[in-house]
Structure 1
Amino acid sequence: MATPCAPRGRSRSWCPEASVCSLSTCTDTIVRLSMKPAGLLLAASLGGCAHYAALPLPQQAALSPDLGGLVHDRPLPAALTVSDVVRLAVLNNPDLRAARNRTGVAAAQLLQAGILPNPQASLSATPTLAGPGTTTAWNAGFTVDLRSLLMRPSAVRAARASKHQVEADLLWQEWQVAGQARLLMVQLIEEQRGLRLLDGLRQLLGGRLDERRRALAAGDATYATIAPDLAALTDAQTRTRDAMRLLLQQRHRLAALLGLRPDALLVLADCINLPPLDAGAIRTALPALPHRRPDLVALRWGYRAADEQIRSALITQFPNVSFGPTGGSDNTNVRAFGPQLSLELPVFDRGQGRIAAARATRQQLHDEYAARLAAADGDVRARLDETAQLQEQVATARAQLPAVLAAARAADAADVSGLIDPQARIDLQVARFTRQAELIVLQQSLLEQQVAIETLAGTGLPPLTAADDPEPLTQIAERAP
């Protein structure tokens, strides 16, 4: 419980901050110093003292066992859609929770940059021990560092730019988590479809192999005729196991992204509710990429902070001046009062190192921004070209699929009438499964490219140029895909 910040016997009032003056020694010190005029200033400064508070580290992982333990801003459906998973990831991702604390650090640095420098006070007393002196000599002075005052505006602007840089970096990290959640949902839903297809193929091949084994037992077949069916079934079983292992790994990755335990139950929808990709609109919006991608905005804020640091560094090459009044009395009670000026002579240190470091930092950020912008623009354009190729391949596979399905249905009808060789029927069914699996793989690749393009292009994010404080992704998720 906090300790009252008032001396004993006086009106009791609580500190404005929760962690202020909880130590009883702080109050006692203020009481004692307040009894003396010389201690009034120090007592006032101690009136807002802060104290140490322990922050123990967690002793166990903070992973929720189910969806009920997650933070959510709307009722959760029975089966989670892509947009539901994206919102849960942004709200609950453990890495994002830790990253959000950086904004508090940046705000504290901005607060520190705006605080005026403390003035310097000096007081000395020289009692008379011998001689004609009649009183104690004393001297008092009060000075202010003028350089700190001159550097304060640039320091505040640099700290404000750094704060905006941290906020934009956080938004970019949130956007990447959202993109990762969309990508995992696409992979899980599409690969689940592929797994169901593999199960059907495995059952078909297993039934055919059972027939061959019965024929072998009756002496109507040989091992040579069974070998192709056995190899095909073995291949289908291997692919099924690989798909099941990959699905489990991706479910674990999604659980980790949401802050869930690996064994948490996740019921996912079986459809992907992503809007269609508008390649033309993305190409048209590419010139505005520097104003929409948060990482590029963050680099611009960092560049602005580095530019302000150069302005501050340039001031250090001039002499530092401290100015203020000073006065005193000698031991004959002759009193004097006047201005005091102290000048730092820039003989050796003229701020060369600080200026060079500030300029090198600005140049580094300049080149990093140019390289990031070129890479982002080139990556989006390259993926758009790859997407166009994938769209053509998907269209071709879809156009060829009806003929394969019709042949498989005709083979089933002919098999009932005994008009087709059983092996030919199996081959047509395998061809149907193979073509459907190829289409699922192409569709999954197309959707993965779409998610990557929308993440890289910042599709759905508002322009961040005019806004001093970028909005968190949780506030703009309604406008995000």
Structure 2
Amino acid sequence: MPQILKTRSTLLIALAASLAGCQHYTSLPLQTDASLAPSLAAIPDLPARALTVSEVATLAVTRNPDLLAVRAKAGVAEAQLVQAGVLPNPSLSGAILPLLSGAGSVSGWNLGLSQDIKALIVLKPRRRSARDSLNQVHADLLWQEWQVAGQARQLAGDIVLGERLRPMLEQAYELMAKRYTANRKALESGNSTLSTLAPSAGALQAARAAMLQQDQAQLANRHKLNALLGIAPDVTLPLADAIDLPAFDPREIRSMLATLPQRRPDLLALRAGYAAQDEQLRVAILSQFPDLILGASASSDNSKVISGGPNVQLGLPVFDRNQGNIAIARATRQQLNREYAARLDAVTGEVGALLSERDQIALQLAAARHDLDDSRAFADRAAKAFAASMLDERSFVDLLSNRFSKEQEVMTLELALFDRQVAIQTLIGTGLPAVDTLGFPDPGADGAAK
């Protein structure tokens, strides 16, 4: 009986020790209300002045709701890294066999302890794979921060340029409205005809349509920017008139194309994912060896005869040599290798295409600005000629409309040029956090080249 009590005490102590480190459940309720900032005062540390484009980009990286959700993914990857580094638990078995009948005099018992050796063999590659997966998550997060910052730059810049365009559209509308009102009064008094009124009426409608279209675009851009910043749509974010983006040098950007694999977070994420899969292939190859469990056991029969010693359990790889998992891991690695190559090609081509488009728009803008100078001069001369009754109404309105159309064309090209430059700077990371902030070495440098 003392031996039975001793065995029971050992089992209870082992059970209590295993329960001591257990985690406990705590609830995490979902929020019931949207967390959009209802006013500017609700945004912490927001300067009490108009924000620059760069400050808007920084604010977006800090407050963007999607980024806040993605950052939680890094916590999952960190937990998986912890799990990958945990040693497999040994197994403890035991039994008490009370005497039911026969020649014995006491209850029998047995106790065994065993460890899965195969789990120890694949521990290191599993841990390296989890580390590479965590690096991939961090690189993906940085890439999404680049995207959010680029969107914030573009939206804020578009709004600023749109505000510059609005006065010109208002001027065109007011001038056309003045001409239309004068011609209508002349028609009502019998001093004019419909043929005189028609040009000013058409020009007034075109000017009104352009102004309303611009207002719609501005409101849509502000709503998009507010959503990016986690702000309620009816809040107006004050923006500074100057656009403080980094200097744009096409020659420098072209020279940086060769180093994109070392500077683009999405490419580094793919390389880290490739490295993680390469380790998974190692795990699959190591797992083809037989299962091996080592241990020791002791037992006592009903006549107090105690015996003990080591024991081995060895799996026989007759049918399953893990060939299926090895083939899957190898094919997945090949797929990731091709995906990386395809992304690298796409990245280089995308930046090159945007640079070409940017150059074309720059040439078009230079020509439009030259034409604008002529249009302004013709409009000034037309105003003087019309005032001196040396020019008819239709020609006068046509020359004025041409000037405002050219003004709008120049602003549209400036906006297109700005958008291309922001897109290029986002793709190469100009003015954005560098990849060395990730804090991990260049992943998969050898594997990606295989």
TM-score between the two structures when normalised by the length of structure 1: 0.85
CA distance in 2, matches of 1:370, 1:197: 48
Q: How does 1:78-477 map to 2 (within 5 A)?
A: 78-413=49-384, 424-461=395-432, 464=435, 468-469=439-440
SS in 2 for 1:263: coil
- Farther off after superposition, 136-145 or 377-386: 136-145
The 1:311/1:388 distance shift into structure 2, 3 A limit, reads: same
Count of residues paired in the alignment = 434
CA distance in 2, matches of 1:410, 1:465: 60
CA distance in 1, matches of 2:423, 2:354: 8
| Deviation, structure 1 residue 87 | 1.0
| Deviation, structure 1 residue 232 | 1.3
CA deviation vs aligned residue, 1:300-326 (integer Å, no higher than 9, x gap) = 000000000000011221111000222
The 1:467/1:238 distance shift into structure 2, 3 A limit, reads: closer
Aligned to 1:32: none
2:138 and 2:438 in contact (8 A); partners too? no
CA deviation vs aligned residue, 1:98-140 (integer Å, no higher than 9, x gap) = 1100000000000000000000111122223333323322221
| Equivalent position amino acid for 2:363 in 1 | E
CA deviation vs aligned residue, 1:421-467 (integer Å, no higher than 9, x gap) = 56544443322222211111111100000011111222235663795
SS in 1 for 2:122: helix
- Farther off after superposition, 348-357 or 208-217: 348-357
1:71 and 1:91 in contact (8 A); partners too? no
The 1:352/1:41 distance shift into structure 2, 3 A limit, reads: same
CA distance in 1, matches of 2:81, 2:279: 14
The 1:201/1:190 distance shift into structure 2, 3 A limit, reads: same
SS in 2 for 1:100: helix
TM-score between the two structures when normalised by the length of structure 2: 0.91
Aligned to 2:25: 52
| Equivalent position amino acid for 2:337 in 1 | H
SS in 1 for 2:297: strand
| Equivalent position amino acid for 1:119 in 2 | P
- Farther off after superposition, 452-461 or 161-170: 452-461
1:71 and 1:92 in contact (8 A); partners too? no
CA distance in 2, matches of 1:447, 1:368: 31
| Deviation, structure 1 residue 261 | 0.8
CA distance in 2, matches of 1:50, 1:366: 40
Contiguous gaps of at least 5 residues in structure 1: 1-34, 471-481
CA distance in 2, matches of 1:361, 1:268: 48
CA distance in 2, matches of 1:66, 1:316: 58
CA distance in 2, matches of 1:281, 1:130: 93
| Deviation, structure 1 residue 403 | 3.2
| Equivalent position amino acid for 2:409 in 1 | E
From 53, 57, 63, give the equivalent of 2:36.
Answer: 63
SS in 1 for 2:267: helix
| Equivalent position amino acid for 1:43 in 2 | A
Question: Once superposed, what is the RMSD of the aligned Cα atoms?
Answer: 2.1
CA distance in 2, matches of 1:287, 1:466: 21
- Farther off after superposition, 329-338 or 359-368: 329-338
1:89 and 1:178 in contact (8 A); partners too? yes
